[in-house]
């Protein structure tokens, strides 16, 4: 061995790993919207005790948004909060890998007690991809209750009246009562014009049918270190408020119908703050759904 053998081998410079680290956010001194963080129990009880005005009635909540927005996670999070432990697979069991083949599925949440399920149900639709998403015409059919469970959306052609999955005489429970647009906080600014147009088209149809509309801004923990550290900062972080305002201005959903949430994504235990935010949005969604049902009952349906 030569004399060089004791020399250390030249090492390559340490690799720099580029990871997206959100900058520290500017915060308001006081939250601009109130959440009673210490009293999750009353919001939970409100939802647990909720019953629609007429027996047998259910509130159908349709979530639409891009693949990966957090639609399934939101349904799973609601299921977890209401059932008191983390559920990750139960309601997403039939999620197909390809977005085109995803079936229209009604997700129910077990209640326990004399009523086996809660009187609100969820459907989700991959509706915002301008090229590959579910067609706006199919979303309109879903809103009116014409799409039966199990239907596989086809991005090329919409459901026809002679299809066995076409429900030609939808009842009040088949119709959608609240339309929820699910958008990740980090994509609000990069949304292309066609996506915005698609959201507006769907909204316009829902408005014609007098269906209330809500937006849920997910993944708020990923865009703000303050929120990641402490979810209670959600209504203090200026950046998040700006994103909500930007989204509101782009698609026309008023600020008081936009709710930031953090879904359960990797947790194994429930967290009071995560629960509180989920419950706060769910309570509003239920109230909007009830308004829609009351409207149905006070009007003879002429719109559809
Ligand atoms: N950090 C974080 N991750 C989330 C949140 N919501 C969803 N995710 C993750 O985002 C991914 C896509 O979510 P998913 O619910 O499958 O989206 P879907 O395609 O709209 O149903 C999953 O890996 C989730 O764990 C959230 O609020 N925060
Ligand atoms: Mg999904």
Structure tokens belonging to residue 155: 């991005």
**Ligand 2: distance of its center to the CA of 115 in Å?**
27
Higher pLDDT, 246 or 9: 246
Q: What is the pLDDT of residue 71?
A: 92
CA-closest residue to ligand 1 atom 23: 265
Give the integer Cα–Cα distance in Å for 209 and 211.
Answer: 5
Q: Is 118 part of a structural domain of the chain?
A: yes
Q: Is 87 part of a structural domain of the chain?
A: yes
Ligand 1, CB within 6 Å, residue ranges: 65, 67-73, 218-219, 221-222, 262-263, 265
Q: Please choose from 62, 68, 229 the residue to mutate so as to test ligand 1's pocket, defined by most ligand atoms within 8 A of CB.
A: 68
- Closest ligand relative to 22 C-alpha: 1
**Ligand 1: distance of its center to the CA of 34 in Å?**
25
* Ligand 1 atom index nearest CA of 66: 20
pLDDT tens for each residue of 281-294: 999 999 999 999 88
* Ligand 1 atom index nearest CA of 77: 6
| Domain count of the fold of the chain | 1
Q: What is the pLDDT of residue 283?
A: 96
Higher pLDDT, 264 or 302: 264
Q: What is the pLDDT of residue 273?
A: 97
- Closest ligand relative to 74 C-alpha: 1
User: How many CB atoms sit inside 10 A of residue 58's CB?
Assistant: 19
Domain of 113: which CATH number? 3.40.50.300
| CA atoms in the 13 A half-sphere facing the CB of 95 | 20
**Ligand 1: distance of its center to the CA of 287 in Å?**
25
Q: Is 34 part of a structural domain of the chain?
A: no
Q: Is 287 part of a structural domain of the chain?
A: yes
**Ligand 1: distance of its center to the CA of 233 in Å?**
20
pLDDT tens for each residue of 78-129: 999 999 999 886 454 344 444 444 789 999 999 987 888 999 999 998 777 7
Higher pLDDT, 301 or 135: 135
**Ligand 2: distance of its center to the CA of 196 in Å?**
20
User: How many CB atoms sit inside 10 A of residue 304's CB?
Assistant: 13
Q: CA 65 → CA 62, 205, 218, distances in Å? A: 10, 16, 11
Q: Is 139 part of a structural domain of the chain?
A: yes
Instruction: Kindly tell me the sign of the dihedral angle through the C-alpha atoms of 273, 276, 282, 288.
Output: negative
Three-state SS for 27? strand
**Beta strand segments in the chain, E:** 59-65, 120-126, 178-184, 213-218, 258-260
**Ligand 1: distance of its center to the CA of 73 in Å?**
5
Q: What is the pLDDT of residue 2?
A: 43
Q: What is the pLDDT of residue 118?
A: 96
pLDDT, average across residues 239-251: 94
Q: Which of 22-36, 169-183, 287-301 has the lowest mean pLDDT?
A: 287-301
CA-closest residue to ligand 1 atom 13: 70
Q: What is the pLDDT of residue 53?
A: 87
Any residues with CB less than 8 A from the CB of 23 and at least 6 apart, and which? none
For residue 3, pLDDT beyond 90: no
Q: Is 116 part of a structural domain of the chain?
A: yes
User: How many CB atoms sit inside 10 A of residue 238's CB?
Assistant: 13
Q: Please choose from 66, 70, 219 the residue to mutate so as to test ligand 1's pocket, defined by most ligand atoms within 8 A of CB.
A: 70
Give the integer Cα–Cα distance in Å for 96 and 117.
Answer: 25
Q: Is 38 part of a structural domain of the chain?
A: no
Helix intervals (H) in 117-192: 136-143
Q: CA 129 → CA 100, 162, 196, distances in Å? A: 11, 27, 10
Q: Which residues surround ligand 2, an ion (CB under 5 A)?
A: 71-72, 95
Direct distance between the N- and C-terminal alpha carbons of the chain, in angstroms, rounded to an integer: 90
Closest CA to 304 of 103, 144, 127, 116: 144
**Ligand 2: distance of its center to the CA of 30 in Å?**
35
Range of the domain at 118: 58-220+253-297
Phi, psi of 218 (to 5 degrees): -95, 175
pLDDT, average across residues 247-266: 95
Q: Is 226 part of a structural domain of the chain?
A: no
Question: In the chain, pLDDT over 90 holds for what percent of residues?
Answer: 65
- Band of residue 13 on the pLDDT scale cut at 50, 70, 90: low
For residue 135, pLDDT beyond 70: yes
């Amino acid at each position: 061995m030569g004399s060089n053998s004791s020399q250390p081998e030249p090492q390559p410079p340490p690799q720099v790993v580029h990871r997206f680290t959100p900058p520290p956010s500017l915060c308001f001194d006081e939250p601009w919207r109130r959440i009673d963080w210490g009293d999750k129990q009353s919001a939970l009880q409100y939802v647990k005790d909720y019953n629609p005005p007429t027996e047998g009635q259910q509130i159908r909540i349709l979530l639409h948004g891009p693949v990966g927005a957090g639609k399934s996670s939101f349904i799973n999070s609601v299921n977890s909060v209401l059932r008191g432990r983390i559920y990750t697979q139960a309601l997403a069991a039939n999620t197909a890998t390809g977005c085109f083949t995803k079936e229209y599925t009604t997700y129910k949440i077990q209640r326990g007690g004399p009523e086996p399920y809660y009187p609100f149900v969820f459907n989700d639709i991959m509706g915002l991809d301008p090229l590959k998403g579910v067609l706006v015409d199919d979303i309109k059919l879903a809103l009116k209750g014409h799409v039966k469970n199990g239907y596989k959306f086809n991005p090329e052609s919409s459901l026809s009246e002679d299809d066995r999955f076409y429900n030609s005489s939808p009842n009040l429970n088949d119709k959608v009562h609240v339309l929820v647009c699910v958008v990740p906080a980090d994509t609000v600014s990069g949304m292309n014009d066609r996506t915005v147009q698609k959201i507006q088209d769907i909204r316009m149809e829902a408005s014609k049918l007098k269906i209330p509309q809500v937006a849920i801004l997910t993944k708020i923990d990923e865009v703000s270190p303050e929120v990641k550290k402490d979810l209670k900062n959600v209504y203090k972080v200026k950046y998040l408020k700006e994103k909500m305002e930007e989204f509101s201005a782009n698609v026309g959903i008023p600020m008081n119908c936009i709710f930031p949430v953090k879904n359960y994504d990797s947790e194994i235990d429930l967290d009071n703050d995560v629960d509180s935010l989920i419950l706060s949005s769910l309570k509003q969604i239920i109230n909007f759904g009830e308004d829609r049902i009351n409207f149905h009952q006070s009007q003879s349906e002429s719109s559809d």
